[in-house]
Chains A and B, each alone.
Chain A
Amino acid sequence: AQSVTQPDIHITVSEGASLELRCNYSYGATPYLFWYVQSPGQGLQLLLKYFSGDTLVQGIKGFEAEFKRSQSSFNLRKPSVHWSDAAEYFCAVVSSGGSYIPTFGRGTSLIVHP
């Protein structure tokens, strides 16, 4: 069964600092990979996704993620964090064949200090 691990429950950064949120998955083949953001009181919003091709994908709000097959990772990055980026971030995986049900990580809560 596929699984997703977000090892960091909370991350605190200063505004303007760089950010990396970790996501590791367990699956036999290359899955479809997603990052979603959930701001307080809001629904989840897609930041970016990877299906195939270039392993560095660009998303909205200045975020990017890199798929590394050898490490089974899909880490989310942003070079300079803004206070409005404070939110919960979820990594999700869907198999490219077979089950279409997505598996979500438990989320990483991002705290931004001024």
Chain B
Amino acid sequence: GAGVSQSPSNKVTEKGKDVELRCDPISGHTALYWYRQSLGQGLEFLIYFQGNSAPDKSGLPSDRFSAERTGGSVSTLTIQRTQQEDSAVYLCASSLGVRETQYFGPGTRLLVL
């Protein structure tokens, strides 16, 4: 079956613009995670969705970051008023449930000029 997909694969934007990053999880996976990977760094947790529960937003670095998950499937990560320090690879992962193996998408490489 299809894996986790993310779009766009690359995004170049100007400082101050808003961007939307999309994640299509594996069908049937109830858990969905967003991470940020900066150059030479590990994965930084951003937000977590599990079923119909309220998302865990504890990793979002500022109120410019938000995410939603519609119908328990597709998720969109939105970054408002982008800053140069937002440049990174944004990874999405899905799993059957908490503490289960996560399946990662290829990521969206964001460059803020």
Contacts and interface: CB of A to CB of B under 8 A. Distances in A.
Interface of A: 4, 9, 32, 34, 36, 41-46, 49, 90, 92, 94, 96, 100-107
A101 B32 CA distance: 11
Interface stretch (B11-19, B41-49, B60-68, B72-80): B41-49
Contacts, number: 49
A104 B41 CA distance: 10
Contacts of B70: none
B98 interface: yes
B42 A104 contact: yes
A71 B90 CA distance: 33
Interface class of chain A by DSSP: strand
Given A90-B43, A101-B56, A49 B106 contact: no
B42 A105 contact: yes
Contacts of B58: 101
Interface in B1-22: 3-4
7 cross-chain pairs, A with B, having the tightest CB-CB distances, nearest first: A43-B104, A100-B98, A106-B42, A44-B104, A104-B43, A104-B42, A43-B106
Interface string B25-41: 00000000101000011
B106 A42 contact: yes
B45 A43 contact: no
A44 B95 CA distance: 13
Contacts of B3: 43
Contact of A41 (B4, B99, B106): B106
A7 B106 CA distance: 26
